[in-house]
A = this chain, B = another copy of it.
Amino acid sequence: MKMTMKDIAKEANVSTATVSHVINGTKHISEEKQNKIMEVIRKYNYIPNSTAKNLRKQSTKTAGLIVSSFPDSFVTGMVYGAEKRAREMGYNLLLINTNENSSYEKETINLLHAQMVDGIILAPTSSGASYLNSFTDDNFPIVLVNRDDPSVKNVPKVTGDNYQTGFDATTHLLKHGYKKIGIIYAVANVSTTVNRIEGYKDALKKYHVPFDDSFIEQGHATVEGGAEAVKSLLNREKDISALFILNDLMTIGAISKIKELSLRIPKDIALMGFGDFASANIIDPPVTNIVLPPETIGKTAFDVLLSKINNPEYNKHIELPPTLITRKSCGC
C-alpha cells in the first residue's frame, strides 16, 4: 500500500508538520519523536510524494535538455556532460529530441514551462528561436547551448568557438599549401555552421586566397550524406585539393567515397574532420580533426543554468576554444 505523510504521522502519533520537519531537517524536533518517526518511515519504506512537494514548492528539481539532432556524437557527448553534472547537483534531466523540428520545439518548451521543469537547456533548431523572448522576458530560465542565436535576448549561452574552429582548421590546411579548400556541412543557418564558414573565409583572406562559394557543399549528417556531398562537390569543382568536413559521420562517408574514386588522401585530396571519433586513428590515413569539447559544453551549460536560476540577471556567453588533433589526413 502507498503510504502518505499523513499515514506516517498517524502511526507515529505526531502531526504531518513534525514528520515533514524531520524529513527535511527544517526544524529541530525532539530526539524521541525523531527516532519514532524515522522508525515508521523505514518500516514502510516511505518516500515523500515528489509531485505534491513540487506543487507546493513550485519547483521540481528537474531541468529540460532539448536537443535537435540525436544521436549525433557531439550531441551525445553534451548530453552526457549535462546529465552527469545535473545528477551531481541533485537534479534530474528530461531529455527531448526535436529532430530539427521547430514547431515541436516550441510545443515542448511551452509544456515544460508549465511547471514541469525549473529551467531549460536548449540546442535550438535552425529555424531561429526568437520566439523564446516571451519566455526569457518572463525570466523563465533558459540557456542556449552549442548553437547560438543572437535574436534571443536575456539568455546565457554556452557554445564552442566555431569561428576559431573554422579559422584554425582552414589555416592549418592553408599552411600545408592547399588553396582550393572545400567545405562540407550538414545544417544550414545555425551558428555552428555559419561561424565556422566565417572563420574559413577570414583565414582565406589572411592568406590572400579568394573565396568561392561553390566550394561549399551541403549534405545529410550521415555516412551516406557525406559520400554524396563529396561526389557532387568534386564533380563540380575538380581541382579541390583539401576538404574540411563539419560532421564526423560525413567525414567517414567522405573517406569512403574518396577511396572509391581511387583518390589518395592526402596526396590527391587532404582531409580535416570535425569531432574526434574513436576510429580516427586507425583509418588509413589517420584523420586529422578539429574538436570542440562536447562533454565540457554540456556540463558547463548545466552550471550556467543553475546560475541563471539563482540569478535572473546572469547572461554570460561562455565560448570554449577548439583543439586541433593533427594526424595524417591533412598532409602532416
The interface of chain A, by Cβ under 8 A from chain B, is 45, 47-52, 54-55, 60, 62, 70-71, 73, 76-77, 79-80, 83-84, 87, 92-97, 110-111, 113-116, 134, 223, 248-249, 252, 255-256, 259, 277-279, 281-284
15 residue pairs from A and B, CB less than 8 Å apart: A49-B55, A49-B115, A51-B115, A52-B55, A62-B116, A71-B80, A92-B116, A93-B95, A93-B96, A94-B94, A223-B278, A248-B278, A252-B279, A278-B279, A282-B283
Q: Which residue of B lies closest to A114 (CB)?
A: B47
Chain B residue with Cβ nearest A77: B71
Tell me which residues across on chain B come within 8 A of A51, comparing CB atoms: 51, 54-55, 60, 115-116
Q: Is the CB of B95 within 8 A of A83?
A: yes
Report yes or no: A48 in contact with B255, Cβ–Cβ below 8 A.
Answer: no
State the oligomeric state as a number of copies.
Answer: 2
Q: From B55, B80, B116, give the contact of A97 (CB < 8 A).
A: B80
Q: Chain B nearest CB: distance from A117 CB in Å? A: 9
Q: Kindly state the separation between the CA atoms of A47 and B114 in the bound complex, as whole angstroms.
A: 6
Task: With both chains docked as a complex, state the minimum distance between the C-beta of A111 and any C-beta of chain B, in angstroms.
Answer: 7
Known: A62-B94, A92-B96. 19 other contacts (CB 8 A): A45-B134, A47-B110, A47-B114, A50-B111, A50-B114, A51-B51, A51-B116, A52-B115, A70-B79, A70-B80, A71-B76, A83-B97, A93-B95, A248-B278, A249-B278, A252-B282, A255-B282, A277-B279, A278-B279
Using Cβ atoms and an 8 Å threshold, which residues of chain B touch A95?
A: 79, 83, 93-95
Q: What residues of B have a CB within 8 angstroms of the CB of A278 in the complex?
A: 223, 248-249, 252, 277, 279
Task: Name the residue on B nearest A2 (C-beta).
Answer: B138
Contacts of A114 in B (CB 8 A): 47-50
Residues of B within 8 A of A97 (CB): 80, 83-84, 87
Complex formed: what's the CA distance from A191 to B134 in Å? 50
From residue A305, how far is it (CB to closest CB) to chain B in Å?
Answer: 16
Residues of B within 8 A of A115 (CB): 49-52
Bound: A249/B276 CA distance, A:
13
- Which B residues are CB-close (under 8 A) to A52? 55, 115
Are the C-beta atoms of A259 and B279 separated by less than 8 Å?
A: no
Cβ B92 vs Cβ A47 within 8 A: no
Known: A114-B47, A223-B278, A284-B284. A87 touches B96 (CB 8 A): yes
Closest to A256 in B: B282
A93 to B252, CA, bound (A): 31
Instruction: State how many angstroms separate the Cβ of A58 from the closest Cβ of chain B.
Output: 8
Residues from chain B with a CB closer than 8 A to the CB of A256 are 281-282
Partner of A50, one of B49, B87, B96, B116: B116
* Distance (whole angstroms) from the CB of A328 to the closest CB of chain B: 14
Chain B nearest CB from A67 CB (Å) reads: 10
